[in-house]
Chains A and B, each alone.
Chain A
């Protein structure tokens, strides 16, 4: 089953928009979808059909930043996962491959547990900044280890270096949390590690939306170049690809986009791993369709997961990472069974 190139993205955008409308109406106070649409239309200046102030506050001020932010994070994770799986020719690659989640956790935990302020910021803003800085520091360390004296960026070495740095980061994180003896801090760290969209405000949501749009367009422009890796590295070279330069640019680009996502929403597992595999089953492996579709499907899935996370249990949020794993694992098992049959 292969969908026509033109049809699939249109369908995916439609599904994403419906998902967002439902998500905006779901929560402690339910807002019917038509009212949601009225609020959005009024706010973007496309008609005023009289909305209640309460609905406007809930939909536009409270829920919209979170829904937009999580859609953007899902898009970044889905698209970056697809790029990294192709670039490393490794089906298990995900956006956190290069030690990014571990590094971000080091930064976030340092702020959460030790109460360090960052560049004059304290609280959530400091966690975000420290997470971003930690992710970039880990990335730098991974690249340093991976390149070594070889001067090139071999995929296997890069993956191994990512694992090593990730382990070191997790050792530090555990030590700080256990050493502090503060149970509340331990709980907050765990919550951060499993991800949450609760921190999004309009400003931060638009920032991440910007990152997601730029990243998806930029990576999609490299679609041909990623296709060329189908038969391996020297084949890509002989097809006219500057392999080393492309690898640096794409690894750097995916890392920056992922670091931004992690900094605002924590480490949300499984989206970046599962979404590209899911999308490939109906788009095929060519990147011109795979990359934008991974972004759209990633966005849709994460908005659903986040909506479940904040509405399944009354009056309490479960971490979104728990939802993505609970949905992702059985789904992944299904994909494995299918691919096992065809192989």
Chain B
């Protein structure tokens, strides 16, 4: 499948009686990067997990073009959508190449050997190169820095050869250089991408569209310039900002001034 659009149609999720997502509807354009914004606890991770098919919504549905994500089998889903989770780590003594190879499981014959996925070795090498971790391939996972781990997770997701990439706060714990590098790399992939982000400046720089959640409700959705306004940031984050054209770049520049009293 070439990069599909994602249609989230009236999705509602309740967890232990609390409404976590309330009839959220939105569309992510094919091949574009959509930034998912909102304060802590606004439902960003839940929405990503619902789109990824990990959580079945109480109401509504998620479509990739015309395909209902929650009707697919887990293996079929894993070949369409890849998810990079927040802070996923392991205590096992795995090497980088072995971690990336996990992305090939859904491409093998079920319960079959690695040989049942003839393209597997090439796909892993390509993914390592695209995420620029090929020089780390034989390193142990636990010897990697935070920035390297995140790039290895991206490589693992790419080894799934997905059409849709879902990223849950992928730039957490990364220094500025690694943040920019990571998002730059993701933008270049041409996949339909949804990334939950905290940093408004990064979102403005690397996303085509923005989705803003607040306490489980959709409060804004559209191109960056239309969504990222001082009024919206004040309402959702409780922070006064000015938004003005960036002095050297073709994108808005967000400058915070203080907490709304």
Contacts and interface: CB of A to CB of B under 8 A. Distances in A.
A238 interface: yes
A55 B224 CA distance: 87
A237 B102 contact: no
B49 A240 contact: no
A286 B89 CA distance: 16
Contact of B90 (A231, A240, A280): A231
B54 A285 contact: no
Contact of B75 (A240, A285, A288): A240
Contacts of A230: 90, 92, 94, 99, 102
Interface string A283-300: 011101000000000000
A165 interface: no
A152 B172 CA distance: 31
A231 B85 contact: yes
B111 A239 contact: no
B74 A241 contact: yes
**Which of A224, A231, A239, A280 has the most chain B CB atoms closer than 10 A to its own CB?**
A239
A232 interface: yes
A280 B82 CA distance: 29
Interface residues of A, number: 22
B77 interface: yes
A221 B54 contact: no
Bin chain B's interface residue count.
20 to 34
Interface string A178-204: 000000000000000000000000000
B130 interface: no
A285 B74 contact: no
B105 A240 contact: yes
A35 interface: no
A222 interface: yes
Nearest to A286: B98
B111 to A, nearest CB: 4
Contacts of B77: 240
A3 B129 CA distance: 27
Contacts of B74: 237, 240-242
Contact of A234 (B49, B92, B94, B113): B49
20 contacts: A227-B102, A228-B105, A231-B90, A232-B85, A234-B83, A234-B85, A235-B85, A237-B53, A238-B52, A238-B54, A238-B81, A238-B85, A239-B105, A239-B106, A241-B105, A242-B73, A242-B74, A284-B94, A285-B94, A286-B94
Interface of B: 49, 52-54, 73-79, 81-83, 85, 88-90, 92-94, 98-99, 102-103, 105-106, 108, 111, 113, 160
